[in-house]
Structure 1
Amino acid sequence: MYTTYTCSPPISGNTKAFLTLNSFESGGDGGGPSECDNQYHSDDKPVVALSTGWFNHESRCLKNITISGNGRSVVAMVVDECDSTMGCDKDHDYQPPCPNNIVDASQAVWKALGVPHSDWGGLDIVWSDA
């Protein structure tokens, strides 16, 4: 019923993506613990999940990326996959699969980018390996 992806757009020095909001805390909308370390993470820490293709079989786990948007930049750690191949189950908080161009970020990332709280949820950004 949903489009699924096994790849993401090519990565460059400034890869275009869409920033979304996620809670990585226990009981948050991220579902289970993060895939990279099987832990939950505070919304006050700059952490992200990447679409399946960019997550690349955990090759970016616990590595930092630089996210630029809204005229600012922030460094965040990759802790999870925003699954582009599966969804609509308990492990994915019954959400549909992610598109292939998502950087799913904690509240700390949104705050660091200076995005007004009323605008949290979706933002065109660029990212690169830090």
Structure 2
Amino acid sequence: MSGENPPPGECNQENNSNCCKEGETYPTYDYSPPVSGSTNAKLTLNGFGKNQDGGHESKCDEEYHTKDELVVALSTGWFDKKARCLTYININGNENSVKAKVVDECDSTMGCDEQHAYQPPCDCNIVDASEAVWKALGVPEDNWGGLDITWSDA
């Protein structure tokens, strides 16, 4: 997918999110690695509230969520056409674990448009989490943004 520069002020970089760039090519994925009892993933930080970097309402319930809710978005393959909507996953990282609700998709097939907050497509192995998940895992705030984790269906 080829990127375009977002209109001025339209790409929210609140959680160190990347904005699409004119002429940049971004990979897309319609799959994710197989899910096991301990699936490797990259935990990223996402805002699920109105006017936050997550873009629009969550796909599962068409609602916004606060930073204090234990919620996540999964890469397209793991989101599995809403099959995991409103189910819970266990996340293990930073020597801690937390249970979070799947409320959205981190789209791996599309990006660089208004619906995707002018951000590139997600990688195929992303668990995009609210601040509450990062806090529950005991990760210091200055280390939020990218953490190797494992996850499983709860």
Normalising by structure 1, what TM-score?
0.99
Query: Offset at 1:21?
Result: 0.1
Q: 1:42-61 to 2 correspondence within 5 Å?
A: 42-61=66-85
State the identity %. 66
- Whichever of the two has the greater Rg, that structure is 2
Deviations 1:13-49 (A, max 9, x none): 0000000000000011000000001000011001000
Judging by fraction of residues, say which structure has more strand: 1
1:79 is the counterpart of 2:106: no
Distance of 2:92 and 2:70 partners within structure 1: 13
Query: Offset at 1:100?
Result: 0.1
After the TM superposition, list the runs of 4 or more consecutive aligned residues in structure 1 that deviate by more than 2 angstroms: none
Distance of 2:116 and 2:100 partners within structure 1: 22
In the alignment, which residue of structure 2 is the partner of 1:123? 147
What secondary structure does 2:142 align onto? helix
In the alignment, which residue of structure 2 is the partner of 1:14? 38
Q: 5+ residue gaps in structure 2? A: 1-24
RMSD: 0.4
* Counterpart residue type for residue 119 of structure 2: Q
Query: Offset at 1:65?
Result: 0.2
In the alignment, which residue of structure 2 is the partner of 1:63? 87
In the alignment, which residue of structure 1 is the partner of 2:136? 112
What secondary structure does 2:139 align onto? coil
Deviations 1:53-84 (A, max 9, x none): 00000000000000000000000000000000
Normalising by structure 2, what TM-score?
0.84
Distance of 2:54 and 2:42 partners within structure 1: 17
